[in-house]
A = this chain, B = another copy of it.
Amino acid sequence: MPFWESVNGLELREFRPGVRSTAELGQGLNMVCMEIGPGLQDTGHEHPFEQCGIVTEGRMEMFIGDQRRMLAPLEAYFIPAGVRHGWKTFGEPVKVLDVSGKPPQA
């Protein structure tokens, strides 16, 4: 569907433990609304495509390469291809609208 209602009110499904999401998967762009539960973390990973997004509810810590920041609603991030990044949530769930660019599937 081309339009989404408020990203903070979308119906989400469990994507992996503690993370619920809904997505629009394109040929080269994936747009994902994600709710990450409290007290979770991704200690770091990297991938060969760029990724960016914006926090829409709650606060989360994120690191991208050697930079680290606590992100509040309406703060955004841009992760260059190949750069290690990760995140951590605290006492509240966090919602993020995340976009990754990846090469069209073969």
User: A residues touching B (Cβ–Cβ < 8 Å)?
Assistant: 1-8, 24, 26-29, 31, 33, 49-52, 54, 56, 62, 64-65, 67, 69, 71-81, 83, 97, 99-101, 103
Which residue of chain B has the shortest Cβ distance to A66 in the bound complex? B2
Using Cβ atoms and an 8 Å threshold, which residues of chain B touch A65? 2
Using Cβ atoms and an 8 Å threshold, which residues of chain B touch A8? 74
Contact check, A26 vs B75: say whether CB atoms are below 8 A apart: no
Q: Are A26 and B56 CB-contacts (below 8 A) given A67-B2, A101-B101?
A: no
A53 to chain B, nearest CB (A): 8
Using Cβ atoms and an 8 Å threshold, which residues of chain B touch A4? 75-78
A97 to chain B, nearest CB (A): 5
